[in-house]
């Protein structure tokens, strides 16, 4: 099974830390974020595809051509936007399911394992501020019906995170233009509308980070698993 990592962005809101270092190589308690990602992968992952652009050479130098014997393939994206970045991977996957993750996530290995138990799935969490998140709405059978980004009002209490198990049907969807950029999340919304994609509830998911302040929060959460601190934007709560 292949894993696709989007690691092409500039991390502008993380500046000045990302002026000379790509966001996936920022250190959290002495370890690069992308190392946390690769360490979380289960044995089922036999190939890793990483989409790079901004300071991508540094990522290639850091990881090399394989990780513990698992082949790493790098794709250099020349377009901007997570949608176009993702589409560069199309020719490397063929009629199969795969693991998808953003390059600024620090996932819990147990969460990834649980996602892989489903044919198609998206990791979800309970947010403190739903209006800052992509919110998932469920069908009666428990699958995800649709995803709405940053709704002003919502009846949902389930936010989507950056870990997903998808299949190659998603390449049939086109990313929508939102605020001048084509986002991968718009493709996922179209995908869930006609596929049975199951929500998987996160357990102690550390999540992504956007600003230097978030980096401090993540470091504390890794050292102290029960640490809780309000983060700006799409903050997390634990499921009961």
Kindly give the pairing relationship between strand 70-76 and strand 47-52: parallel
CA distances from 46 to 1, 3, 32, 49, 188 (A): 6, 8, 21, 10, 24
Query: What pLDDT was estimated at residue 17?
Result: 87
CA distances from 154 to 2, 121, 196 (A): 34, 22, 22
Question: Nearest Cα to 123, choosing from 150, 85, 158, 97?
Answer: 158
Query: What pLDDT was estimated at residue 142?
Result: 95
Query: What pLDDT was estimated at residue 227?
Result: 45
Query: What pLDDT was estimated at residue 230?
Result: 40
List, in order of start, the domains of the chain with CATH numbers.
Answer: 2-122+159-224 (3.90.550.10)
What predicted TM-score, i.e. pTM, was given to this entire model? 0.89
Query: What pLDDT was estimated at residue 118?
Result: 97
Taking only the tens of pLDDT, the chain with its 240 residues reads: 999 999 999 988 889 989 999 999 999 888 999 999 999 999 999 999 999 999 999 999 999 999 999 999 999 998 889 999 999 999 999 999 999 999 998 888 999 999 999 999 999 998 878 888 889 999 999 999 999 988 888 889 899 999 999 999 999 999 988 777 888 999 999 999 999 999 999 876 565 677 888 787 777 777 755 544 444 455 544 443
CA distances from 24 to 45, 58, 77 (A): 20, 10, 16
Q: In this structure, what is the dihedral angle of CA atoms 188, 189, 192, 198, given to the nearest 10 degrees?
A: 80
């Amino acid at each position: 099974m292949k894993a696709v990592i989007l690691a092409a962005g500039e991390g502008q809101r993380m500046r000045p830390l990302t002026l000379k270092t790509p966001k996936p190589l920022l250190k959290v308690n002495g370890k690069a974020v992308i190392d946390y990602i690769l360490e979380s992968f289960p044995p089922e992952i036999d190939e890793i595809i990483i989409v790079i652009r901004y300071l991508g050479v540094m990522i290639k130098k850091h990881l090399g051509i394989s990780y513990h014997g698992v082949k790493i393939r790098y794709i250099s994206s020349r377009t901007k936007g997570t949608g176009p970045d993702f589409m560069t991977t199309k020719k490397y996957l063929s009629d199969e399911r795969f693991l998808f993750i953003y390059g600024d996530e620090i996932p819990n290995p147990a969460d990834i394992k649980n996602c892989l138990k489903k044919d198609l799935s998206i990791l979800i969490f309970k947010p403190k501020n739903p209006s800052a998140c992509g919110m998932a709405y469920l069908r009666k059978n428990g699958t995800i019906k649709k995803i709405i980004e940053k709704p002003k009002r919502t009846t949902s209490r389930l936010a989507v995170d950056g870990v997903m198990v998808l299949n190659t049907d998603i390449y049939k969807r086109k990313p929508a233009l939102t605020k001048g950029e084509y986002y991968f999340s718009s493709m996922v919304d179209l995908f869930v509308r006609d596929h049975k994609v199951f929500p998987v509830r996160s357990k102690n998911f550390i999540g992504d980070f956007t600003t230097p302040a978030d980096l401090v929060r993540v470091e504390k959460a890794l050292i102290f698993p029960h640490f809780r601190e309000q983060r700006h934007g799409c903050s997390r709560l634990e499921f009961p």
